[in-house]
Structure 1
């Protein structure tokens, strides 16, 4: 019996689309570079162009469209609720007032830009990493010599967010079985607090059981992954195409100054 547990993909045919066959290391590199570029741009033309490019890449990865749109709409709802107050707190030229609070033109522009950038980043992540399994993600990070502790932490995060989600669904189903209906009253808020508390307590208890189970299996702080094969010509072609697209986006950013 081997001393260390070695993680390898269950199947080499689990990914679909043109993006799914690209080396994980190249996909992680492209994600980081494009994300840094997106948060650095100042013109809305470059951001919109990046969203279009990322949307095309998402289409090439052949995702589950219903799940993809649900994720995007969920993120947009959170961003909208967060940015709703930004025009009223950002100084600048007044456009309109609501109950005596002035909304500035600069604040509206910043809110729109942040919303566009957030969508561009989420589309980029879904395009390059959406079809990448957790094991392949870990192998790619180790192949790029990313610190082992960070890789292990990310692996646990990816794995147990889904576990916590299923635990939440189990608790919600138990509440519905007891005829609970969410309303805007004191009882509903109290039950929601109990739900969050039980989720945290259950997560803590489960984490202790997981730690002991992993120690019994010889876990000593990090995972061992099988080595990735040498990059193919298609991987280098993909990297070249992404470099050309990035140069075009940088040129667009240089030619289109910010509105404000």
Structure 2
């Protein structure tokens, strides 16, 4: 199952209204993603580094997730500095590393880490069910919210179906190889998985209707804006405005 190791706690971040956390995470990610100046993205990274500390998140799981993200960013460093045209800083035969390529790679790296840290601290600190309800209260289309909640609920069931089919194939002496028989077997396996998922979805839909489902998922979480939430909103808004001023004020003036 998907582990929600950050979802429960008593930190100031956990006590914030989920709607405020989602809005801040989205706005912070958008502002950081469209920023092109190093002072802005560095400030965004500092803000993002402070959030897991305020949320009192365990260090090792956070670093593990950052390691995965930076593993993907590593491919950018292996390609972009060599392929981006600009001022050469190092050459090795036909390959030339450009100053602009290094700068762009560093910019992408800082942005990626800042956005991931903000999402971990703001969004991963709530259960998926609460996240779905928060999205619904923010007037995200109901079908998208239902898709999120149902997918999270039944992805484990589909995984169980997949392992059952795989065990059945192994009992029948199936051994994966790089040949046509292996490819056809996996194709049949995936096809049967889709068939079972569709049948399961139909049964679940009928069961929900029998239990009086009216298109709304109920939630035990009480959404209410408290005084502490207003203070946090002011602080977060100030931070976002500061990023915007640092990014666009030199252009305006």
Q: TM-score, normalised by structure 2?
A: 0.76
1:47 alignment partner in structure 2: 41
Of 195, 199, 207, the match for 1:216: 207
| Paired residues of 2:36 and 2:247 also in contact (CA < 8 A) | yes
* CA–CA distance in structure 1, aligned partners of residues 70 and 191 of structure 2: 26
Of 199, 213, 225, the match for 2:218: 225
Q: How many angstroms does 1:115 deviate by?
A: 1.3
- CA deviations over 1:133-169 (Å, ceiling 9, x no partner): 1111111111111111222233344445666778889
| 2:144 paired with 1:153 | no
| Paired residues of 1:134 and 1:159 also in contact (CA < 8 A) | no
Unmatched segments (≥5 aa) in structure 1: 1-12, 175-185
Flag the structure with more relative contact order, 1 or 2, with Cα contacts below 8 A and sequence separation at least 6.
Answer: 1
Aligned pair count reads: 240
Q: How many angstroms does 1:195 deviate by?
A: 7.4
Q: How many angstroms does 1:29 deviate by?
A: 0.8
Q: How many angstroms does 1:94 deviate by?
A: 2.1
1:94 alignment partner in structure 2: 88
| 2:52 paired with 1:58 | yes
Unmatched segments (≥5 aa) in structure 2: 1-6, 169-176
Q: Secondary structure at the match of 1:217?
A: helix
| Paired residues of 1:43 and 1:256 also in contact (CA < 8 A) | no
Q: Secondary structure at the match of 1:95?
A: strand
| Paired residues of 1:138 and 1:225 also in contact (CA < 8 A) | no
* CA–CA distance in structure 2, aligned partners of residues 192 and 80 of structure 1: 31
Of 95, 99, 103, the match for 1:105: 99
Cα gap change, 1:78 to 1:165, in 2 (>3 Å)? farther
Q: Secondary structure at the match of 1:224?
A: coil
| Paired residues of 1:167 and 1:199 also in contact (CA < 8 A) | no
Q: How many angstroms does 1:52 deviate by?
A: 1.6
* CA–CA distance in structure 1, aligned partners of residues 239 and 207 of structure 2: 49
Cα gap change, 1:67 to 1:83, in 2 (>3 Å)? same
- CA deviations over 1:209-249 (Å, ceiling 9, x no partner): 24422322228795423484331111111101111222233
